[in-house]
Structure 1
Amino acid sequence: MSQIPTLDITRFDSDRDAFVAELGAAYREWGFAGIRNHGIPQAEIDAAYDVFKAFFALPEDTKRQYLLPGSGGARGYTAFGVETAKDSKHFDLKEFWHIGREIPEGSKYRDVMPANLWPTEVAGFREHGYNLYSKLDQLGARVLSALALHIGLPENYFVDKTDSGNSILRPIHYPPITADDIPNVRAGAHEDINLITLLVGASAAGLEVKSKQGEWVPFTSSADTIVVNIGDMLQRLTNHVYPSTTHRVVNPPGDLARQPRYSVPFFLHPNPDFLIDVLPSTVTADNPSRYPEPITAQGYLEERLREIKLK
């Protein structure tokens, strides 16, 4: 079975044309790639994981103080048993927290990008959590620059379209599974909503990616690799040149199911008022436009959040 590629992003500086070609080819085929030598120190990743694990270890009543009813889980805590993959009958086996972009109070986006919540019970949560947010935001910008070049756009095409993006860092806790033969899985088969997702922590087994041939391909990366995949917004913008690939997190076998699992995806979004309209360069005789009507990033996000039971 062919493997999802892992690429060294330092080659974007040292061997740009070849790197862009290889990265673009990986995304056209898989919608997924591993990125190594990403420049985020392991100590900073570990520090963020430590505070996230400390939060999830708090009593249930304490965590629930950070629920924001009616917010669609945009900030703060989302409890176990809420999120449900689109078209799934069973909720995912996870709880999570959302960190969003820090923006000025007077920002024109404040009505759709609320202020962050920070748990006072965990020292360093804000410091380490937002540091990881910022580092992944910068890494995502580099990946988008390479993808822009691959489809004939200027390298800086996405810069002013994502500089106030409604991006989310989502620390996830999958608790130990204590019952056998349950219909739920840790994360049901789904596609991501955003432009690209950067996943810190795919080194634990469980992530599976659906190939174009319909096979589920396990993707367990090495610890120094961040997994980056295409989301539905970029699929729509590029007229499916870059596919948003279905993926899931399956329950591990036997005693491994009794262990908790943690992962931290960063969902990179465009600015809320960015108009997702098919790029003319991606429309050809063989690939006519699939989306005659454009939609704003915020409008698309709200539509999808309703589908997965977060709104």
Structure 2
Amino acid sequence: MKNVPTLDIRRYDTERDAFVAELGAAYREFGFCCISGHGIPRELIDGSYDVFQRFFALPTETKMKYHLAGSGGARGYTPFKVETAKDSQYADLKEFWHVGREIPRDSKFADVMPPNVWPSEVPDFRQYGYGLYEALDQLGTRVLRALALHIGEAENFFEDKTDVGNSILRPIHYPPITQDNIPNVRAGAHEDINFITLLVGASAEGLEVLSHGEWLPITTEGDAIVVNIGDMLQRLSNHVYPSTSHRVVNPQNENARKPRYSVPFFLHPNPDVVLDPLDSCITPDNPRRYDTSITSHEYLLQRLREIKLI
């Protein structure tokens, strides 16, 4: 069975052509790759997990102070069993928090990118939460440079399309599974909506990706971060980069009885980016798959309705 590879991003600076070719091949096959050598400090990742776990340990009524009803969970806290994978009858067994990009309140995107809220009960939440946001945003930019080169675009092709992207850092808490025979996987099979997702340090096994009809478990070693393609980049690349189904399953061991924490970063394009297939990705073998134009913000709203967040 093939496995999702782990590639060291420092090779982008030392053996660029080989790295870009291997990265592109991984994404064409799996829609996923693990990235090591990224240089995000361990203490930033560990400190972030610590503040997120301290927040989720607060009483429900305290957490609900930060639930902004009617906002689609764009910022702050979303309680258990709200989000539902597209076409799934069961809600996901998770609660989560959203950190978004800090932008000037006179920005043209201020109406669709609200200010962050921060829990006063966890004083260093903002320091770690936004620190990790910025580190993953910068790493995502580096991955996108290689992805741009692989499809024949300029290295900086994506940079003016993501510099004010509506990106989200989502700390998630999956509670311990305390009863047997429950129907839910912890998070139902789904594809991500955005450009790319960077998942840092899932604290337990469970992540699986669908490849050629089989579910492959993804486990990382060392500092590796899982990075996968989302639907917006699949559309823009005319499916050269596939957005692959993945899920979080309950471990078949004592870890099912433990809480699971994970922190994905959803890197989004700027709200006004038009997701038309790129000419560089349209070939006789891969004809244009989309005839209608849609902006990334319109696409996001359409998908949030499908997963019952708005």
Smaller-chain TM-score bracket: over 0.9
Amino acid at match of 1:301: L
1:1-311 map, 5 Å: 1-202=1-202, 204-211=204-211, 213-311=212-310
User: RMSD value over aligned CA atoms?
Assistant: 0.7
> What is the CA–CA distance in structure 2 between the aligned matches of 1:286 and 1:13, rounded to whole Å?
32
Instruction: Please list the CA deviations of residues 146-189 of structure 1 after superposition, one character each: whole Å capped at 9, or x if unmatched.
Output: 00000000000011110000000000000111111011111100
Asked whether the 8 Å contact 1:200–1:227 carries over to 2, the reply is yes
> What is the CA–CA distance in structure 1 between the aligned matches of 2:202 and 2:13, rounded to whole Å?
25
User: How much does 1:203 deviate?
Assistant: 5.6
Instruction: Please list the CA deviations of residues 27-61 of structure 1 after superposition, one character each: whole Å capped at 9, or x if unmatched.
Output: 00000000001110111100011000000000000
> What is the CA–CA distance in structure 2 between the aligned matches of 1:294 and 1:219, rounded to whole Å?
34
Instruction: Assess, with a 3 A threshold, how the Cα gap between structure 1 residues 177 and 49 changes in structure 2: closer, same or farther.
Output: same
> What is the CA–CA distance in structure 2 between the aligned matches of 1:190 and 1:231, rounded to whole Å?
10
Amino acid at match of 2:296: A
> What is the CA–CA distance in structure 2 between the aligned matches of 1:254 and 1:134, rounded to whole Å?
35
> What is the CA–CA distance in structure 2 between the aligned matches of 1:197 and 1:151, rounded to whole Å?
19
User: How much does 1:234 deviate?
Assistant: 0.3
Work out the percentage of aligned pairs sharing the same amino acid.
71
> What is the CA–CA distance in structure 1 between the aligned matches of 2:105 and 2:31, rounded to whole Å?
36
> What is the CA–CA distance in structure 1 between the aligned matches of 2:34 and 2:132, rounded to whole Å?
18
Secondary structure of the corresponding residue to residue 43 of structure 2? helix
Instruction: Please list the CA deviations of residues 87-119 of structure 1 after superposition, one character each: whole Å capped at 9, or x if unmatched.
Output: 000011100000000000100000000000100
> What is the CA–CA distance in structure 1 between the aligned matches of 2:267 and 2:208, rounded to whole Å?
21
Secondary structure of the corresponding residue to residue 276 of structure 1? coil
> What is the CA–CA distance in structure 1 between the aligned matches of 2:27 and 2:293, rounded to whole Å?
23
Secondary structure of the corresponding residue to residue 271 of structure 1? coil
Amino acid at match of 1:290: R
TM-score by structure 2 length?
0.99
User: How much does 1:132 deviate?
Assistant: 0.1
Q: Which runs of 5+ in 1 are unaligned?
A: none
User: How much does 1:255 deviate?
Assistant: 2.4
Asked whether the 8 Å contact 1:186–1:249 carries over to 2, the reply is yes
Following TM superposition, where does structure 1 have runs of at least 4 consecutive aligned residues deviating by more than 3 angstroms?
none
> What is the CA–CA distance in structure 2 between the aligned matches of 1:201 and 1:44, rounded to whole Å?
12
Amino acid at match of 2:155: E
Q: Which runs of 5+ in 2 are unaligned?
A: none
Secondary structure of the corresponding residue to residue 25 of structure 1? helix
> What is the CA–CA distance in structure 2 between the aligned matches of 1:42 and 1:125, rounded to whole Å?
17
